[in-house]
């Protein structure tokens, strides 16, 4: 399809004049299943250790599934903390950005639970994806019923939080809020 020159120029202007208004930092997981609660613990840690302007919102998303869609669609940039699978990944903090997001990005504890990958799919279909998205996670070491992270993953919280802070600082500078 060939667009008239005027339409193309208007499209370019619209794309260069985007105003960024919100960065969401979302923690996913079920705190009742050990390391499955990593995302929730990470967002709490991030919020407690950071002093950002109000445009940076921290959300404990828990296992709310479809009810989190607005947090994904309403922001310009999104960080998601979550436990990652496959379980055989080496212990460490993994960061995936934009098109690097893997297909396995949310462990479901039940077949009735909507995962983060489905939320991304819905947002894409509706044309409401954030301009920037990053997933920060660790492979779970303990998914048994019980509150609290394994010692291995608890030790990785500071590194995960630091990686998120680096991204938020980068986005705040680039977006010129």
What is the rounded average pLDDT of the residues 117-131?
Answer: 91
Residue 84 pLDDT: 80
Q: What is the SS3 assignment for 81?
A: strand
Top-confidence residue, 114 or 144: 144
Q: Name the pLDDT band for 7 (thresholds 50, 70, 90).
A: very low
Report the residue count for the chain.
177
Does residue 47 carry a pLDDT above 70?
yes
The proportion of the chain whose per-residue pLDDT surpasses 90, expressed as a percent, equals 65
65: in domain = yes
Does residue 58 carry a pLDDT above 90?
yes
Provide the residue range defining the domain that includes 45: 21-87+110-175
Top-confidence residue, 165 or 10: 165
Q: Name the pLDDT band for 50 (thresholds 50, 70, 90).
A: confident
11: in domain = no
93: in domain = no
Number of domains in the chain: 1
102: in domain = no
What is the average pLDDT value for the chain, to the nearest integer? 84
Q: What is the SS3 assignment for 130?
A: coil
Does residue 124 carry a pLDDT above 60?
yes
Residue 115 pLDDT: 79
Q: Name the pLDDT band for 35 (thresholds 50, 70, 90).
A: very high
127: in domain = yes
Top-confidence residue, 106 or 146: 146
4: in domain = no
21: which residues sit within 8 A by CB, 6+ positions away?
Answer: 55, 76, 177
Q: Name the pLDDT band for 73 (thresholds 50, 70, 90).
A: very high
Beta bridge partners of 133: 78
12: in domain = no
104: in domain = no
CATH of the domain at 144: 3.40.50.1450
């Amino acid at each position: 399809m060939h667009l008239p020159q005027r339409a193309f120029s208007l499209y370019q202007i619209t794309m260069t004049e985007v105003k960024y208004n919100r960065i969401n930092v979302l923690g996913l997981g079920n705190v009742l299943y050990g390391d499955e609660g990593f995302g929730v613990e990470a967002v709490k840690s991030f919020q407690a250790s950071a002093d950002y302007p109000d445009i940076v919102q921290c959300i404990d998303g828990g296992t709310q599934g479809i009810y989190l869609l607005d947090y994904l669609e309403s922001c310009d940039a999104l960080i998601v903390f979550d436990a990652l699978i496959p379980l055989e990944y080496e212990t460490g903090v993994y960061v995936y950005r934009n098109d690097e997001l893997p297909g396995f990005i949310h462990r479901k504890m039940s077949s009735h639970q909507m995962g983060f990958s489905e939320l991304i799919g819905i947002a894409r279909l509706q044309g409401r994806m954030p301009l920037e998205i990053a997933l920060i996670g660790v492979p779970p070491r303990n998914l048994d019923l019980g509150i609290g992270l394994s010692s291995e993953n608890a030790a990785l919280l500071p590194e995960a939080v630091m990686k998120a802070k680096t991204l938020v600082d980068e986005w705040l500078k680039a977006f010129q809020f």
